[in-house]
Amino acid sequence: MRLALAAAACVLVGAACASSSAQPAAPEAAADDVRTLAAEMERIHPHLFHSVSRETFRGAVDDLIARLPGLDRDEILVGVLRIVAMTGERDGHMGLFPLVDHERPLHLAPIRAWVFPEGIYVLASPERPELVGTRIVAIEGKPVDEVAALVRPLVTRDNESSLILRLPEFMITGEILHGLGLSRDADAVRLTVERAGGERVDATLRTLPGPEYWNLIQHVWAPPPPPDVPTPLWLRNSQRPQWFAKLAKGRVVYAVYSHTNLSGTFAASLLTRARKPKVRRVIVDVRLNPGGDNTAYRPLLDALRGRFVNRPGRLVLLTGRVTFSAAGNFAAEVDARTRARIVGEAAGGSPHNYGDRVEVELETLGWTVHVPPQYVEVLGRPDERAALEPDVAVQIGAADHFSGRDPVLAGAIAMR
């Protein structure tokens, strides 16, 4: 069965549009959109009520419809996002995503932000490069943790890892901030950032339509490389779907699988490298793999199960928050069918999840919602874990990133 990438990665192109008005939509027409969305979610999703009761879901829909006459368009957006996200864990393919090329696009501040253990940091800011490396402490004058708490219920996810990947994107979307009552309009986002020495600076950034934001930022899945230091190995070839490196004087084969596509040639090359007498460890890195086709990784999985690789202490799999969809399925199968030890963060994709997508168009409101039509089960047995947890949990901190260090790979190499 062919699975799509995360829904936000599926539609990448479209004309830039003017900033959306928050003026209210006609209540009856908007109500028809909300009713259509709810009915289509119930029709398309194989088990919509796996985490929320039918009564609670329908009650939320009825409540939003009743409130429509008093809401502007951005407030309606927040209401729709809240309903879509009610489906809960293992539903990361569900969503109304800011980067999708909606008929009425959403707008984002032109920065790339990332959640580290120390907080949310700016990793890229093409229009204001002096902001790179700063920690976001407030958005629209409100402490960033409080903004995050307001936005979290609006973000669809498979688990906590995929949520923290998506959370900053939603937190810098102008319509969401306005719909939550945090800003005056969706045309700009005001950040307060803290420099390394403790100095705090306010920056107001004009927002861009989602497709234009994508073209400007480019690194919307992988964290962009840190400035002014050598790029760490795992971020050097983020556009290449498969590649190798030889580490530790030839004792380690480092195999990067960053897109779940045809793997036969890659698997054969991995086996050739693994057979060399000096090799003591094979490290497969899927930290930057957001998915693809979950029928395509079988040759690679078979290679990892073979006698040249599948030995105690020899095989290590690196996972992270970007590891999603078909890549999450792959990680679950490696965990279940080999002796691999898993290092890094919990995979952003659940072992089994609700996958693929059907687009539901909200014609009056101008937004597209993705609804998954199937439950993807690859292990041949029930597995309702929200996350595949690592055997050795290692996080990359802000200081690591901006210094060009990769403690995940270093830890995998040093393991005994």
What pLDDT shows up at residue 24? 60
The dihedral through the CA atoms of 305, 408, 350, 266 has a sign that is negative
Q: How many Å apart are CA 50 and CA 317, to the nearest integer?
A: 30
Tens-digit pLDDT profile for residues 323-364: 999 999 999 999 999 999 999 999 999 999 999 999 999 999
What pLDDT shows up at residue 390? 98
Res. 118: pLDDT tops 50: yes
Q: How many Å apart are CA 146 and CA 285, to the nearest integer?
A: 34
What pLDDT shows up at residue 25? 65
Query: Tokens representing 410?
Result: 């270093």
Q: How many Å apart are CA 318 and CA 284, to the nearest integer?
A: 6
Tens-digit pLDDT profile for residues 209-265: 999 999 999 888 899 999 999 999 999 998 899 999 999 999 999 999 999 999 999
SS3 242: strand
What pLDDT shows up at residue 221? 86
Alpha helix locations (H) across 129-276? 144-151, 160-171, 174-179, 210-217, 264-274
Res. 13: pLDDT tops 80: no
What pLDDT shows up at residue 239? 86
Q: How many Å apart are CA 313 and CA 416, to the nearest integer?
A: 7
CATH topology of domain 233-350+385-414: 2-enoyl-CoA Hydratase; Chain A, domain 1 (3.90.226)
Considering the chain, what is the average pLDDT of its residues?
Answer: 93
What pLDDT shows up at residue 11? 30
Q: What is the CATH number of domain 7-217?
A: 2.30.42.10
Task: For residue 27, name the pLDDT band (cuts at 50, 70, 90).
Answer: confident
| Single-letter residue type at 274 | A
% of the chain surpassing 90 pLDDT? 91
Q: How many Å apart are CA 287 and CA 306, to the nearest integer?
A: 23
SS3 80: helix
Q: How many Å apart are CA 83 and CA 90, to the nearest integer?
A: 16
User: Each residue of 285-294: b (16+ CB within 10 Å) or e?
Assistant: bbbbbbbbbb
Contact, 129 vs 193, CB < 8 A?
no
Tens-digit pLDDT profile for residues 298-314: 999 999 999 999 999 99
Tens-digit pLDDT profile for residues 120-177: 999 999 999 999 999 999 999 999 999 999 999 999 999 999 999 999 999 999 999 9
Kind and range of the H or E run holding 40: helix 27-44
Per CATH, 7-217 and 233-350+385-414 having the same topology is answered no
Question: Which whole-number Å values give the CA distances from 113 to 134, 136, 230, 232, 378, in the listed order?
Answer: 10, 9, 20, 18, 33
Select the more confidently predicted residue: 390 or 19. Answer: 390
Residues 6+ away with beta carbon under 8 Å from 141: 190, 192
What pLDDT shows up at residue 304? 98
What pLDDT shows up at residue 318? 98
What pLDDT shows up at residue 416? 85
The angle at the Cα of 348, spanning 127 to 104, to the nearest 5 degrees, equals 50
Q: How many Å apart are CA 324 and CA 330, to the nearest integer?
A: 9
Beta-carbon neighbour count of residue 143 at 10 Å? 12
Res. 36: pLDDT tops 80: yes
pTM of the model: 0.93
Q: Where are the domains of the chain?
A: 7-217, 233-350+385-414
Pick the closest to residue 361 from 100, 78, 93, 12 (CA basis). Answer: 100
What pLDDT shows up at residue 12? 26
The angle at the Cα of 354, spanning 350 to 355, to the nearest 5 degrees, equals 100
Contact, 281 vs 249, CB < 8 A?
no
What pLDDT shows up at residue 5? 38
% of the chain surpassing 70 pLDDT? 94
